[in-house]
Structure 1
């Protein structure tokens, strides 16, 4: 039987804590969405004509803060010897943001709280994944990352369904109490989280190092790159620069994956903005029906552990390429849905569910890719420095935790670009909906082509 200390530093507990933290972050983000306009109108006495502007600003400030905080969070996580302590700090920042939000009496205070919340989201994701990567071996990382991302779906499902009714029936302070109670549990779980014992961590790093050396050695023969691996037929490297080559390749693959995630989150962000208003205008659906319809976008995240397991073994290349192609075709077909009949409603939900499944697979496979890449990159960069190889300014600056921040960076960019794209379309009309869906579908097809050139070697 595991001792309590061993249990609190185990892979399972680390996965549960990170998953719960991500769920809390996601739930608090979505919990306020149903009553944010009422908050501005009622408690803050914002004129009716200005409510939409302040609501949009609340989203934009959050996204900008998330993007900007990525510049420092990765460095902070890297310089900390303990990976569990920075992870704990992130929930403290979240608590501060919620207190300002619910105690705020002016629109400006709400924007300040949303900015702090954006920074806390970055801290939660980057330090949480950094903690998980430090705890789990590479061979199991995909499955564990898959389980943590289930927290996102749970938070996105529960948040709006709980936030609206609580605010409607029990009031402002009841919603505040629910949020703070949730954060209290989150704080306790993170306080209990422990770093892996040094001897266990050293053994895990040694095994990963041997695997990395094996991968590197297969690339080269007699000081030259193999013409059949990593698409390096014309690349010639001297023995002392072998690790630099691997580091450079991983950095390029990571950058491509970040752009892939931006496309994914942009598509999802555009749909999350457009679907509620479209369903209201076209089918006159109530908020309850719309919430259930949105489950077709969030519920498919339940497949994440399975996708993560296969991605760890096979790599994300074909999972990403295939899902993008299917998603693109589904979105183009989605644009043909029109009319107000029961049949059109059924076809609408089927298309939405298919797109939701594709997006879930895409998010998870590419998040696993970034997690694995950061782990391999850290080992290869350490070997390169130990052997005195010149990494150059950019590769010396790019750290494993900065690579992990690519997830939150792409998400923030996506939730900026997605709504911006939606605002250009008259998607509540049949003609505008067709253009809206076909534009997103075409973007997915292009992304499928791009994904086919990423992670050709895993």
Structure 2
């Protein structure tokens, strides 16, 4: 029985579920307060109604800033830690501290501190957690499994505002945080039970203290002109020393990787921008309650269920990711611009809003899975380069995901500020077409660089 339990703790399905649930918890804590915040800031902290949108925007922006600042050092630490499980568990204490502060905060400064700690906890999930996942399933299948992470992310976006709004309206402020504590409690249990295992990619895995030259191999990895790892049975180990720069710096010299980070930032900005303004928009336009403010996320997040399918196709047909992501940004651009037509409390305009949100949610799924696969591929190519030079293998996944988290955090900072301030000073129509323009422009570097330079020589 103990052997069976031990196998379960380190099994791919259980580790995947644990990482996905950690992402769900992270997003749940972030989003559950979104429909509640406008009412709670007035009732709990006495913020005047005309200042509510301003402080909601600031609090969401602070979360993104904290993620951005903590990502690089935490990714560096995660790659050098003897176990990813330990830093993953550290995040629990930070998450608990953030939850308690947000619950009992008597004023805005304590709310800001709680959001800072929440941002740090999010960094741990997105750097260490995703590195554990790629260690478990391997780079060849990461697109499909990132699809499950995408479902968890979107489930948190959907379920949290809905439950937060319902519980707040029916049971009050304290009940919302009782619900959050229950979700965090399950996360604690899963992270404690999970037992990480060594990478099982089916490829050569290097110990953090071993070099390629110490292994009994007849073949060494090399790279093509397109920077795609290959194996040559006749190649010899290149003993030239690898660059002394950290992987997080070397990745930033790749135009392909930078294009992926830019697309990630834009996707996150659109995602978080809608989280900021949608509840208040439907409240002001359609006169919906906090329950309606939560339900409006359903059409936006439902398409995430197709994330694993998109990821699987990306894994099977590597160049398809470029076209999935490009199509996603182009269709999203048109849909965002068309949102300016929603301006009156009419049934047909409510239906139009839902249809456009489904399209936008579908585009986010089309773009997110290929982008996550590109981040993983960047770290894989860098590790292959290190192995070719015979360098000590430290690993790059934590730092690659740290850069992803920085881009996502940058979007989480820019999105609420962009959407919140533009809608306050220029209106809903201006906010939607500016986001649409940003998305359309982003399709250009995505089609040119994601998946490698589009005009490069094929191998």
Q: TM-score, normalised by structure 1?
A: 0.82
SS at match of 1:3: helix
Aligned pairs for 1:79-98 within 5 A: 79-98=80-99
- 1:441 corresponds to which residue? 436
Cα displacement string for residues 255-294 of structure 1 (whole angstroms, at most 9, x for unaligned residues): 2211111111122233333333333343333433343222
Aligned pairs for 1:154-303 within 5 A: 154-196=155-197, 205=205, 216=222, 219=224, 229=226, 251-303=254-306
Rounded to whole Å, the distance in 1 between the matches of 2:178 and 2:112 is 21
Displacement of 1:434 in angstroms is 4.0
- 1:104 corresponds to which residue? 105
SS at match of 1:437: helix
May I ask how many residue pairs the two structures share in their alignment? 428
1:412 equivalent in alignment to 2:409:
yes
Rounded to whole Å, the distance in 2 between the matches of 1:276 and 1:252 is 37
Q: Compare 66-75 and 35-44 and name the one that shifted more.
A: 35-44
Q: Which runs of 5+ in 1 are unaligned?
A: 220-224, 232-238, 389-395
Displacement of 1:339 in angstroms is 5.1
Higher helix residue share? 1
- 1:393 corresponds to which residue? none
- 2:349 corresponds to which residue? 344
Displacement of 1:148 in angstroms is 1.8
- Mark the CA change 1:261 to 1:293 in structure 2 (over 3 Å): closer, same or farther: same
Tell me if structure 2 keeps the 8 A contact 1:281–1:428. no
Displacement of 1:243 in angstroms is 8.3
Displacement of 1:440 in angstroms is 2.2
- Mark the CA change 1:82 to 1:448 in structure 2 (over 3 Å): closer, same or farther: same
Q: Out of 356, 378, 383, which is 2:361 matched to?
A: 356
- 1:150 corresponds to which residue? 151
- 1:29 corresponds to which residue? 30
Q: Out of 335, 357, 368, which is 2:373 matched to?
A: 368
- Mark the CA change 1:444 to 1:284 in structure 2 (over 3 Å): closer, same or farther: same
Rounded to whole Å, the distance in 1 between the matches of 2:252 and 2:338 is 37
Tell me if structure 2 keeps the 8 A contact 1:77–1:83. yes
- Mark the CA change 1:426 to 1:109 in structure 2 (over 3 Å): closer, same or farther: closer
Tell me if structure 2 keeps the 8 A contact 1:300–1:356. yes
Aligned pairs for 1:307-456 within 5 A: 307-315=310-318, 316-337=321-342, 340-386=345-391, 399-426=396-423, 432-454=427-449, 455-456=451-452
Tell me if structure 2 keeps the 8 A contact 1:325–1:445. yes
Q: Compare 87-96 and 19-28 and name the one that shifted more.
A: 87-96
Cα displacement string for residues 242-261 of structure 1 (whole angstroms, at most 9, x for unaligned residues): 988x9779843222211111
Q: Compare 72-81 and 263-272 and name the one that shifted more.
A: 263-272
SS at match of 2:296: helix
SS at match of 2:197: coil
- 1:222 corresponds to which residue? none
Q: Which runs of 5+ in 2 are unaligned?
A: 207-211, 229-237, 453-457
SS at match of 2:83: coil
Cα displacement string for residues 142-161 of structure 1 (whole angstroms, at most 9, x for unaligned residues): 11111122111111111112
Tell me if structure 2 keeps the 8 A contact 1:146–1:368. no
Cα displacement string for residues 137-194 of structure 1 (whole angstroms, at most 9, x for unaligned residues): 2222111111122111111111112223323333343333322222222111111111
Rounded to whole Å, the distance in 2 between the matches of 1:175 and 1:436 is 30
Displacement of 1:45 in angstroms is 4.2
- 1:392 corresponds to which residue? none
Rounded to whole Å, the distance in 2 between the matches of 1:103 and 1:436 is 34
- Mark the CA change 1:375 to 1:288 in structure 2 (over 3 Å): closer, same or farther: same
Q: TM-score, normalised by structure 2?
A: 0.82
Rounded to whole Å, the distance in 1 between the matches of 2:296 and 2:48 is 31
1:122 equivalent in alignment to 2:123:
yes
Rounded to whole Å, the distance in 2 between the matches of 1:172 and 1:328 is 37
Rounded to whole Å, the distance in 1 between the matches of 2:340 and 2:48 is 36
Tell me if structure 2 keeps the 8 A contact 1:91–1:124. no
- 1:133 corresponds to which residue? 134
- 1:5 corresponds to which residue? 6
Tell me if structure 1 keeps the 8 A contact 2:379–2:397. yes
SS at match of 1:32: coil
Displacement of 1:36 in angstroms is 2.5
Rounded to whole Å, the distance in 1 between the matches of 2:438 and 2:40 is 36
Rounded to whole Å, the distance in 2 between the matches of 1:93 and 1:296 is 32
SS at match of 1:216: strand
Displacement of 1:203 in angstroms is 6.3
